[in-house]
Structure 1
């Protein structure tokens, strides 16, 4: 394990929604970035034998058979379930398969992205083409009187702190109605999904972690879900920590992408290019809540796209995609993080999906 991997393993639990969250990120980002070196087959086999308790001469585990390369996804059918402006536009996501997780030589990877394994999505989905916006969340709050007070974890310029005066209406920076809502918890997202389901008479939900990565990759196997797969292109597709935040925040010390996306904080929906299937901001802008609870790796993970809700290491929920604050490694399609379901943070929002007949 490299020094970078050891630092990530120790500090990643602090990243989202805790008082040391972004301080941990700063430490991780200032560490030298290196390719993770795959272990030799002999060492990996030896380690596996010790963990499983197999005796000398026992057969090694058969490697998972990976599916053939799936075709790149193309723009799906765009539709919505009612004509009311409260109803989000959806994009149809086709059934297919993909490799979930990162390869051992992927730059910036962490051990919780392993083992890379095949997942088959044998059903179609409708996915919100953007993250839930402030306007959409405001309509939900007005209709249901949902309470989302209690403060929000915010970046004050030098550290992350719980600020009782902050919430989704006043997250600590200016937003338009079309910016993604932030300072919302996993529980807030569940309440919004229930409201939208009643409004449309269709069942909306958070995507599973596998579904989220499947949509983000859009058929790509490399680090990012767009053609070219280069961090230098991120500002075309994503609101990432970049030169714009370095120029806006005095003494910004956390390494960033070497491009300029023109938005130091959140950006309005559809400010950047969509991915191949027509989804916006799958990389960056805000981390997105998904349904699953936390597991430290993918051993025994579901292979059918369903949410992994049993055998949890703890009850923290997973967030995906990176945010306006984060550097390129956190915006990779395989990157994962987690936070308690009740936590609200300046970096976190969500989008919903529904299964299609």
Structure 2
């Protein structure tokens, strides 16, 4: 299939699918288990990291030391893929604060998830290039599709169809099943146990994520705006050990686009039934988006064959 050129700088709100400005209140408390089973952990490596939590002024009010478990897969001689263990648990998906709400994030609902693995970072250009050289499954892949070039930057300007091809080739190469996350898996992993608008607390700052810092969410200070992607891992991890869940690039999910959560699954499944088959869901916001658009609950949609320099992806393994 010929690649579509839908590259643009502006927010994805041109499709009328990006959420409206969100309130600053807290969401309903969510529950989760602490870890995978001990037997699973014994097969994994681990890393330690710190998680800063900020108030509405962007001032740090807490810093937590956490540990995550992972496995890595070599992708050729120059790249590897780190998959972080995400524990089973339950959480409230969607926006639940008392102020202005977007219908796209309602109704808020409980979702229960089983353990899974998610890539620590959005897929990088080095990882993409390594997998693009593997045998084709359903469609060709360009070795270097990104607009903002850099081996450690997230790959972007790839369609949902191409992201699925990446997953298919990776699965065949590793003899493991890789796919795009469901929306509920993505939001659960992004929140990492937090019920606040962001995994960092009540707001974001330029030290915590790559987004359009010309706009404020709460009372955080203004900062210089960098209108491009940044290398993955430049900013701190959330409490699950995942990086760049807020901003940098929007991330493709497996779900067909739905205008709201009426009838949404409650067990973490990929949601296809009664969706808009030409569109796929996006999460996380990008370097070009306001802080409201990079909240944990924020969501958008885009054509499955569309390309945009604000859109990349990460993968899960179940």
- TM bracket (short chain): 0.7 to 0.9
Does 2:103 align with 1:111? yes
- Counting only pairs closer than 5 Å after superposition, residues 87-106 of structure 1 correspond to structure 2 as 87-106=80-99
TM-score (norm 2): 0.76
Alpha-carbon shift at residue 196 of structure 1 (Å)? 0.8
Structure with greater helix share of residues: 1
Query: Which residue number in structure 1 is paired with residue 296 of structure 2?
Result: 333
- Distance in 2 between residues matched to 1:125 and 1:34, nearest whole Å: 29
Higher mean Cα deviation, 77-86 or 318-327? 77-86
| Corresponding residue SS for 1:195 | helix
Query: Which residue number in structure 1 is paired with residue 70 of structure 2?
Result: 78
Q: Deviations over 1:288-344 (max 9, x none)?
A: 000000111111110000111111144310000000000100000000100111001
- Distance in 2 between residues matched to 1:75 and 1:281, nearest whole Å: 17
Alpha-carbon shift at residue 182 of structure 1 (Å)? 0.5
TM-score (norm 1): 0.68
Q: Is the 8 A contact 2:30 2:92 kept in 1?
A: no
Which one scores higher on RCO, CA 8 angstroms, separation ≥ 6?
2
Structure 1: gaps of 5 or more residues: 1-16, 38-65, 150-166, 244-254
Query: Which residue number in structure 2 is paired with residue 230 of structure 1?
Result: 203
Query: Which residue number in structure 2 is paired with residue 287 of structure 1?
Result: 250
Query: Which residue number in structure 2 is paired with residue 310 of structure 1?
Result: 273
Alpha-carbon shift at residue 22 of structure 1 (Å)? 2.5
Structure 2: gaps of 5 or more residues: 36-65
- Distance in 2 between residues matched to 1:20 and 1:169, nearest whole Å: 15
- Distance in 1 between residues matched to 2:171 and 2:154, nearest whole Å: 20
How many residue pairs were aligned?
273
Q: Is the 8 A contact 1:238 1:261 kept in 2?
A: no
- Distance in 2 between residues matched to 1:185 and 1:270, nearest whole Å: 23
Q: Is the 8 A contact 1:239 1:261 kept in 2?
A: no
Shift of the 34–296 alpha-carbon distance from structure 1 to 2, 3 Å rule, reads closer
Does 2:115 align with 1:124? yes
- Distance in 1 between residues matched to 2:133 and 2:75, nearest whole Å: 19
Indicate which of 129, 138, 154 corresponds to 2:129: 138
Query: Which residue number in structure 1 is paired with residue 212 of structure 2?
Result: 241
Query: Which residue number in structure 1 is paired with residue 63 of structure 2?
Result: none
Query: Which residue number in structure 2 is paired with residue 267 of structure 1?
Result: 230
| Corresponding residue SS for 1:302 | coil
Shift of the 278–68 alpha-carbon distance from structure 1 to 2, 3 Å rule, reads closer
Does 2:285 align with 1:322? yes
Q: Deviations over 1:176-229 (max 9, x none)?
A: 100000000000110000111111110000000000000000001111012x32
